[in-house]
Amino acid sequence: MVRHLVLGWGLLLAAALEGAVAAAPEGRALAEELLALQALQKGSDTAFDEVERRGADLLKKYPRLEQQALIHHQLACVYGVSGAAKQDRAIEHARQALRLPLDPGQRMRMYVYWGDATCIANQKRPLSEVRRMAAPIFLEGLKELRTYNVPETAPELPRLERQTGLAQPGKADDDAQRAYEQQLAARKRAEFEQEMCRHRDVLVRQVAYLYCRKPYAGSEIRELASRILQNPAAVDAVLKPIEAKGALVDPEPAAPPPTEEVLAPRPHIYLFVIAGHFLALIAVVGVILIVKARRRRAASADSANTA
């Protein structure tokens, strides 16, 4: 399955730190423990028992909802990239994380992990079944992403004009300070929109990956996208890459198996058969009568000779 390519070490480590309150000792402690949990990830050689034990300890140690969300998020990341054996755990932790307060980027990441893990966990099933299970998860992520009013294309990052004197409270010009704060807010918004556009691209690609493979199911993905997204533009964005591959079609109906020709009854044949039987019966009776007549004549002749 196509994996979320932007999930490198840097992004995973940043994800562990995003929700922690960096200024608070408790936040820093949780961030460090999440990094230690991530360090256990070694693909199929991951020490899953240790991951499970540490995860359970962290959930007991940090009871606040936002902390619990980060822990489930990190556990889903660890299990999700640790081979096919523990994809059920990746699914469970991704679902748990989405029930809790996560920032938008982390939420989108959980939709990707949840959908990918569903594909991997059911890879022995037919594709037609797997995509009906996984595609709605990716589409739900796209539906939620629309609530963040992300533009169609990722924006360029605005420049921050260098300001002097702002590091010294009371000496900075008020207008310059406000201008700098506006620039900073605009840049943060642009960074957020860039990140969300990347997540949107990944979710769309995951759906396309499922439906660009045979047997095609154009009507199915069109109905799913329309029902879940409920927005024509969002539906078109999902269908566009599938259509570009010529896959937005339905499979040709299978030819019906050849049937043996059933001969209709023909009454005149039966009449001939019956007539044949009747003639054969008459012939037999005639033979019997002839034999009996000959015997009677022979008997009469014998009597005459005797007399």
Between CA 198 and CA 104 the distance in angstroms is: 12
The domain boundary, picked from 252, 267, 283, lies at 252
Question: Does the pLDDT of residue 210 top 70, yes or no?
Answer: yes
- The pLDDT of 201-226, averaged and rounded, is 95
For residue 34, is it within any domain? yes
pLDDT of residue 291: 62
Between CA 122 and CA 87 the distance in angstroms is: 9
pTM (global) more than 0.85: no
Q: Are residues 141 and 120 in the same domain?
A: no
Q: Are residues 88 and 151 in the same domain?
A: no
Are 252 and 216 in contact, with CB atoms under 8 Å apart? no
Q: Return the percentage of the chain with pLDDT > 70, whole number.
A: 70
pLDDT of residue 160: 78
Greatest distance between any 2 Cα atoms in the chain? 171
pLDDT of residue 141: 97
Question: Does the pLDDT of residue 97 top 80, yes or no?
Answer: yes
Q: Are residues 139 and 64 in the same domain?
A: no
> How far is CA 81 from its chain centroid?
17
Q: Are residues 117 and 84 in the same domain?
A: yes
* The three-state (H, E, C) secondary structure of 135-161, written as one string: HHHHHHHHHHHHCCCCCCCCCCCCCCC
The domain of 51 spans 1-124
Q: Are residues 28 and 82 in the same domain?
A: yes
Q: Are residues 44 and 145 in the same domain?
A: no
Output the six-digit token pair for 180: 């700098």
In the chain, the number of structural domains is 2
Output the six-digit token pair for 197: 């556009």
Q: What is the pLDDT of residues 191-208, one digit of tens each?
A: 999 999 999 999 999 999
